[in-house]
Chains A and B, each alone.
Chain A
């Protein structure tokens, strides 16, 4: 059974269509990412699952049950908020035990469960502190423990790593992935960071303008984008316009090619002028202007490097040129 199903769900705020006819099925036990630029509707979708928003149209089902009339406190779904939303007047243990207290558990029992949950996120012994005494990373773990202690069937994470610095973020990515495997709960998380979505999720839904543009495994999204928007947003792929592709292949459709798959050659199908180089460590990024289109290539450090202003030929393996649908 699917954990969460959206059937033509819309959420309009006046004239603004934050979510516009989204259909989607998230499977049980899946690590599902909603990826998109800000304002694309991904967070609203998450809030629709949690129950903070109500759809203006369509159906939402959680484990088969219609939830349109179910308030957040009656859904077996818990959320890790972007700003963590820890209760400032409660200490860490009482924060984590909050859901259990509301459910009517005795003090001893819920404190024990809270301490175990804190243990799980490696914050054992922090129970008596106030949230204001914790670092950002620690607060994030408390928020996680506070949600997980209720044993939700779906865990929602709203930009959970957004406020953390790079090193902590990478560490938390692995921890989250590990927790999800260990607990087997369905995770749905919202992010605008394509790297985060691709590295953590089993499947990714790419949002734009309130609609889902493409759903698929990370490799599909990365290597086989359906439309130019996905190619551009997810992988910063080169997008070749339809008329150029028509001349190169005979098919009048836009196409994507990964920067690392573009090669410099003596002769090739496309001639391009080098307009910039930047050193990235393992690779060098070279920008080209080719027939009115801007392209980038990532050249390995040992490859011969052109100079700015050179005119070179570009080539690629036939498989690497990925044809897409026109449109968004």
Chain B
């Protein structure tokens, strides 16, 4: 066991890596700095820098006669957001995001509930993949699939004809606002696809929140005399609510910023995302596009602030 004291001090003639390792051990803050440097530089310069550029642009304005950008600080571009036409776009988008969120929560809850509490063994895997596959399936393919379904000559019309219910569809399509020439060019169509594409993002947070409720808590509720319905209402649902709110962050934010779904399936009335795209592209009005893009940031800022107060971040 006895060793000479000299052996305590290992050879100092060692490689660069070993010496660097010593330095990092002596200065943990240097290690932290080196770890953080690349990601923070990347995200700080590329992402925050871009957001800053965006913000900057929104305070410029466009000269409507020459079409040139006037690089002087002004709030005029923001004021343009409040013209009736533009404000309509904002309202329409927020309303659509809200409807999509509510519908997603309603459809997602039973799936999440079943997956969290009842799916065992093989069924667990089935549910897991059953939720993950659509979530990760190609966004455009999903939209395309609905174009096939909702088209006038598509599968939905065929199915309703088979059931002799096409008068129902016709009656619905003749309604103002929600109706249209066919479902694929109506607000209803836009809504269905929004729900379809973003709903899977609602399932996982709800499922996670439900799985965190210990079984003993439900047994305690039953033990104290609650019927299953009461246990659900007074124990399980309140505990799942942060999960619903967490999921709503995704559905709301994603709907708010989407511009492809309403472009492919829907009416000619614009949503925020489309306004951003059109103003920066065809119109070349980058300041107005930037100002439009700031709207979802501000709305999501308030939304996240509210969600945080409800404890939704613990459910993420």
Contact = CB atoms under 8 A, between A and B. Distances in A.
A–B in direct contact per CB < 8 Å: yes
Interface of A: 51, 54, 62-65, 69, 71-76, 151, 153, 183-185
B1 A65 contact: no
A244 to B, nearest CB: 48
Contact of A62 (B8, B10, B22): B8
B21 interface: yes
Contacts of B8: 62-63, 65, 75-76, 153
B66 interface: no
Given A69-B26, A71-B21, A71-B25, A183 B9 contact: no
Nearest to B14: A74
B3 interface: yes
Nearest to B24: A71
B76 to A, nearest CB: 50
8 contacts: A65-B9, A69-B22, A69-B26, A71-B25, A73-B21, A76-B7, A151-B1, A153-B3
A183 B25 contact: no
Contact of A185 (B1, B21, B22): B1
Given A74-B9, A153-B8, 5 more contacts: A65-B8, A71-B22, A75-B8, A153-B3, A184-B1
Q: Which residue of B3, B21, B25 has the most chain A CB atoms within 10 A of its CB atom?
A: B25
A131 B163 CA distance: 63
B25 A63 contact: no
Interface of B: 1, 3, 5, 7-10, 21-22, 25-26
Contacts of B26: 54, 69, 71
A54 B7 CA distance: 22
Nearest to B28: A54
Contacts of B22: 69, 71, 74
Given A69-B26, A71-B21, A183 B1 contact: yes
Nearest to A51: B25
Contacts of A63: 5, 8
Contact of A76 (B3, B21, B25): B3
Contacts of A185: 1
Nearest to B7: A76
Contacts of A151: 1, 3
A54 B25 CA distance: 10
Q: Which residue of B5, B8, B26 has the most chain A CB atoms within 10 A of its CB atom?
A: B8
A64 B5 contact: yes
Contacts of B21: 71, 73
A289 B5 CA distance: 58
Contacts of A51: 25
A70 to B, nearest CB: 8
B118 to A, nearest CB: 29
Nearest to A77: B8
A4 B1 CA distance: 17
Nearest to B5: A63
Contacts of B25: 51, 71-72
A76 B7 CA distance: 9
A206 to B, nearest CB: 29
Nearest to B21: A71
Contacts of A75: 8
A51 B26 CA distance: 10
Q: Which residue of A64, A72, A153, A183 has the most chain B CB atoms within 10 A of its CB atom?
A: A153
A74 B10 CA distance: 7
A311 B26 CA distance: 64
Nearest to A54: B26
B11 to A, nearest CB: 10
A142 B1 CA distance: 20
A62 B3 CA distance: 13
B5 A65 contact: yes
Contacts of A65: 5, 8-9
Nearest to B9: A65
- Return the 3 tightest CB-CB contacts between A and B, nearest first: A71-B25, A65-B8, A76-B8
A62 B7 CA distance: 13
A206 B25 CA distance: 30
A144 to B, nearest CB: 16
A151 B3 CA distance: 9
Contacts of B5: 63-65
B235 to A, nearest CB: 34
A75 B9 CA distance: 8
A225 B34 CA distance: 50
A109 to B, nearest CB: 18
Nearest to B10: A74
A207 B26 CA distance: 27
A64 B8 CA distance: 10
Nearest to B22: A71
Contacts of A64: 5
Nearest to A65: B8
A65 B6 CA distance: 10
Contacts of A54: 26
B150 to A, nearest CB: 51
Contacts of A153: 1, 3, 8
A47 B21 CA distance: 19
Nearest to A185: B1
